[in-house]
Chain A
């Protein structure tokens, strides 16, 4: 058909028209540096840039964000619902900063998406974990809106929402594989063998309480529920798992029933754990108990504790500095810390979204540009530029 042939030109044109409409934002993104930072005594600000939202997502909340490792302006957003009572469909949208008004790719699913991860080498593969316990792999190169591979009840899906998925290096037969952690206490390794997802239980979180009810000698074993995990950047087999009870377990891929160490980290569920990309021994954890804690994995007590006055949804290390990290809280504030500048307080605390009925859910730093993206409960993603004070490289 006549119209089909101008698809490339139409796409290019849409980006140009968007660039014109958002011209001031595009200029700010490239060139604006807040000069008042010199007078602010170490404090910084976040400049709001584009807002990404799509009517297709309806009332879904942003449950996961991730930047593409190959195309630095492309990011994926998973939509779902954290509310136990209101479970509905899910969506996976991929936006590029070049076109803020419409997603590049859109996939819909029956169950809410809880987490996603891009493959490091093959940037067109996205692993996704769902609320109903399934995992799936989406292939961006294929034109379908359905996942390429999906787990099912027979192939060992989780019984509870999958909170996090992470790709691993290809195994010895060059098969793709990834790990997933879920509330049912299992950490499962999924391998793509001959177009099918095969699962292998890697770890089972230790029991928390021996018995919950004793009905005529009936013993129920309650396993710890995993809410987040992170693999060490250099030491391949080492990983951390955060649980709903507030403990963080340090485990190894080679031992499936014993963990190496446990940290009594928080009083409530651990929402996110993350190794520092530069310091091999340091990791950070955040929780709904209002705190963010920084640990050395050889020491049982945290090195730093920050109380942020509101449940912390997510915390992320910055890719350019070993001492900068950012956290978002449910009262719609974003906090940026730089341990080099101020060890006890944030160097930037800023209200990012309208306070009523909205909570911030996730934050991610862009690996290349001085930008963070923050997702909230109403399905909107805001991109913010970090002012120069927040971007100080350590000497």
Chain B
């Protein structure tokens, strides 16, 4: 449906290295990277996302995490947590 198309468009954007969808427990549902990389990313990003959510909640109880962007020298990792799922996209930084 529309969501499928959106995901396809994200994948086909230039510089997008990978797209991962995982559920609330950190298990990968869909990924465009190979298994090993997916497992690694899943575990680490899930922990990071949980920690970030806690930070936001503790600073202000009525606030919530909507989007997380991690910019490194080589890539940018963008994480969008939804109610029960997590969408992560890794994009190469345009020089």
Contact = CB atoms under 8 A, between A and B. Distances in A.
A172 interface: no
A8 B69 CA distance: 17
A13 B10 CA distance: 8
Contact of B7 (A10, A18, A21): A10
B14 to A, nearest CB: 6
Interface in B12-50: 13-16, 21, 29-30
Given A16-B69, A17-B16, A101-B9, A23 B82 contact: no
Interface residues of A, number: 22
A8 B9 CA distance: 15
Interface string B35-74: 0000000000000000000000000000000110100000
Nearest to A3: B3
How many chain B residues sit at the interface, stated as a range, is: 20 to 34
A3 B69 CA distance: 22
Contacts of A10: 3, 6-7, 10, 80, 87
B53 to A, nearest CB: 14
A70 interface: no
Contacts of A101: 9, 13
B29 A2 contact: yes
Interface string B68-95: 0100000010101111111101010110
B1 A13 contact: no
Contact of B94 (A7, A8, A20): A20
A299 B86 CA distance: 66
Given A9-B80, A12-B67, A13-B80, A20 B15 contact: yes
B13 A5 contact: no
B74 to A, nearest CB: 14
B3 A14 contact: no
Contacts, number: 75
A102 B94 contact: no
A12 B9 contact: no
A380 to B, nearest CB: 18
A354 interface: no
Interface in A1-57: 2-14, 16-18, 20-21, 23-24
B46 to A, nearest CB: 15
A280 B30 CA distance: 60
Interface string A245-262: 000000000000000000
Contacts of B84: 5
Interface of A is mostly: helix
A20 B87 contact: no
Given A7-B3, A20-B94, A13 B87 contact: yes
Contact of A3 (B4, B89, B91): B4
A340 B78 CA distance: 48
A202 B56 CA distance: 60
A9 B94 contact: no
A8 B76 contact: no
Contacts of A3: 1, 3-4, 7, 21, 30
A6 B10 contact: no
B15 A4 contact: no
A99 to B, nearest CB: 9
A6 B66 CA distance: 13
A21 B94 CA distance: 7
B6 A11 contact: yes
A168 B74 CA distance: 54
Interface string A99-134: 001100000000000000000000000000000000
A14 B21 contact: no
B31 to A, nearest CB: 13
Nearest to A7: B3
**Which one of B4, B6, B15, B21 has the highest number of Cβ atoms from chain A below 10 Å of its Cβ?**
B6
A9 B81 contact: yes
B30 to A, nearest CB: 8
A180 B2 CA distance: 34
A299 B31 CA distance: 69
Interface of A: 2-14, 16-18, 20-21, 23-24, 101-102
11 contacts: A3-B4, A5-B83, A7-B2, A9-B82, A10-B10, A13-B78, A17-B78, A18-B13, A20-B15, A20-B76, A21-B13
The 5 closest A-B pairs by CB, nearest first: A9-B80, A9-B82, A9-B87, A10-B6, A7-B3
